[in-house]
Amino acid sequence: MHRRLLAALATLACLVLLAAATAPAAATGGDAGPPQPPRLTDDRGRVITLRGWNVEDKTHRGEQALSAITERHFKDLHDQGFNFARLLVFWDDLEPRRGHYSADYLKKIERILDWAHRYRIHVLIDAHQDVFGPAFGHRGIPAWATRTDGLPFEPHPDDWFSEYFEPAVQRAFTHLYTDADLQQAQARMWRILAARFADHPAVIGYDLINEPMGEIRPGEDLPTAARHIEAEQLTPMYNRLADAIRSVDDDNWIFFEPTPIVGEGIPTGLGRIDDPKVVYAPHFYNTAMEAGADYDPAAGWIEDYEAAVTAYPARYGVPVVVGEWGPLNNALPHMGRFYRDALTSLNRYSSGWASYVWCYGGGYCAVDEKGRFRTNKEQTAAPYAPAVAGTITTEQHAPATDTYRLTYRASHGITEVRVPPRPGGWRVRVTGPAATPTPVLPPDRTATARVHARPDAAVTVLVTPRNTR
């Protein structure tokens, strides 16, 4: 990820491993684990699960912004069984000059949302920033909203994340969090977005800022700095922005993130976000793997991360949706194991996730130029329940057999179970006083089984590939 953070986290990693050695092992599989956060629900009270990918265009600016996102992105997401996209948008494109909001940019966002709705993809609008914004050669907060107090900035083109530790970048975050006029400008930006898209049927929520960072005080280590930034700056900012959005939209979910330090298994210092429809949205990246290392199952990173990211939602009673995850080099020897372990963990405690990133090529891209999954990323396409009308008792996908089992106590409404394309198709068996869906779902395309059960009935849905018994 970035060399300076790697060095700073060396001691921290030792402390985490020492703590893990003296604490009970984190549970895996079906064992009891950390307290489970509540789940997302829809306007009919059904438990919903989001599975999908980030969709972005960072390569264009101004009038060309978002032009690299096409209808194909959403058709292909749907055709592989996904129902969720985290759409990156940029304040510097929306408001290139203070007080001037780009009508063309808003129209392009709307066109993308229309494509998403056509293919039944829920969209999270993410106010994205990388290294603050264009004042430092990246995207996000406009140059006119960047204040550095004349502190130095040195680019690191081969190690971009380390630019977050440059004095000018850190000071710019402090001004964003504390200057009254910038607070008001950021709130206006969100009112513009939310007012325009509050009623769009594709929109499920708003991610207030991507991977927020801040200023490290003299003598602080990274965990201490993260906790003070989260408690003293991010928490009041999130409450301000939530109030701004609620002035024009009282329905969609509000997503908020800790600093990226949570990726090292460090619980957040965020306080309460005082809104009834908020979602905790951490990212799931490992520093060593981002720097090119293979996955090490014995290191306990996934277990430490799960314990860290479930602590906050268990305390405040909020759902979790992981906004980004997925390694750069997905073809290393242990990456198949990583995807199995990561998905088992993510699906245990979260209401969903968006892997990074749905594009056509190399690097982080989900698929190649022909739309074929790149190595190991096909594991993200598996059976799941986008909506459950009732209380979930157990939900489990077994990667070895590609078998999915859902048990729940039914309430009014229809439960949906979705499967990705698979040669031969799938068999669906429903037990309990429920209407049985089509027993064989068609091959080579995504399909949804719908179950309507008597309220309070105990229902089990078992999905198996047709080539297994």
DSSP letter string over 318-360?
A: --B-B-EE--S-TTSTTHHHHHHHHHHHHHHH-SEEEES---B
Distance, CA of 318 to CA of 39 (rounded, Å): 8
Q: Kindly state the tokens that stand for 111.
A: 């066109």
Per-residue model confidence (pLDDT) at position 30: 41
Distance, CA of 195 to CA of 379 (rounded, Å): 37
**Is the Cα dihedral 57, 58, 59, 60 positive or negative?**
positive
Beta-bridge partners for 360: 367
CATH class of 3-381: alpha beta
Q: Judge if the upstream peptide bond of residue 278 is cis by omega within 30 degrees of 0.
A: no
Residue 390: name the closest of 331, 315, 452 by CA: 452
Q: Are strands 50-55 and 47-48 parallel, antiparallel or unpaired?
A: unpaired
Distance, CA of 197 to CA of 427 (rounded, Å): 39
Q: What is the pTM of this model?
A: 0.93
Radius of gyration of the chain (CA): 22
Distance, CA of 327 to CA of 89 (rounded, Å): 22
Cβ atoms of residues 331 and 375 within 8 Å = yes
pLDDT tens, residue order, the chain (469 aa): 444 444 444 334 333 332 332 233 333 334 445 568 999 999 999 999 999 999 999 765 554 567 799 999 999 999 999 999 999 999 999 999 999 999 999 999 999 999 999 999 999 999 999 999 999 999 999 999 999 999 999 999 988 999 999 999 999 999 999 999 999 999 999 999 999 999 999 999 999 999 999 999 999 999 999 999 999 999 999 999 999 999 999 999 999 999 999 999 999 999 999 999 999 999 999 989 998 999 999 999 999 999 999 999 999 999 999 999 999 999 999 999 999 999 999 999 999 999 999 999 999 999 999 999 999 999 999 999 999 999 999 999 999 999 999 999 999 999 999 999 999 999 999 999 877 666 788 888 999 999 999 999 999 999 999 975 5
Q: Please report, for the chain, the start and end positions of each structural domain, with discontinuous segments joined by +.
A: 3-381, 385-469
Instruction: Note the residue count of the chain.
Output: 469
Distance, CA of 454 to CA of 315 (rounded, Å): 34
DSSP annotation of 231 reads I
Cβ atoms of residues 198 and 252 within 8 Å = yes
Cβ atoms of residues 325 and 335 within 8 Å = no
Helix (H) or strand (E) holding 185: helix 180-197
Q: Characterise 413 by phi-psi region: left (phi > 0), alpha (psi -120 to 50), beta (else).
A: left
The residue with tokens 């207030």 is 208
Per-residue model confidence (pLDDT) at position 27: 34
Per-residue model confidence (pLDDT) at position 439: 72
Helix, strand, coil percentages in the chain from 3-state DSSP, rounded to 5: 35, 20, 45
Per-residue model confidence (pLDDT) at position 462: 96
In the CATH hierarchy, which fold is given to the domain comprising 385-469? Immunoglobulin-like (2.60.40)
The residue with tokens 């900012």 is 237
Distance, CA of 173 to CA of 130 (rounded, Å): 12
Per-residue model confidence (pLDDT) at position 7: 45
Q: Would you give the end-to-end CA distance of the chain in angstroms?
A: 44
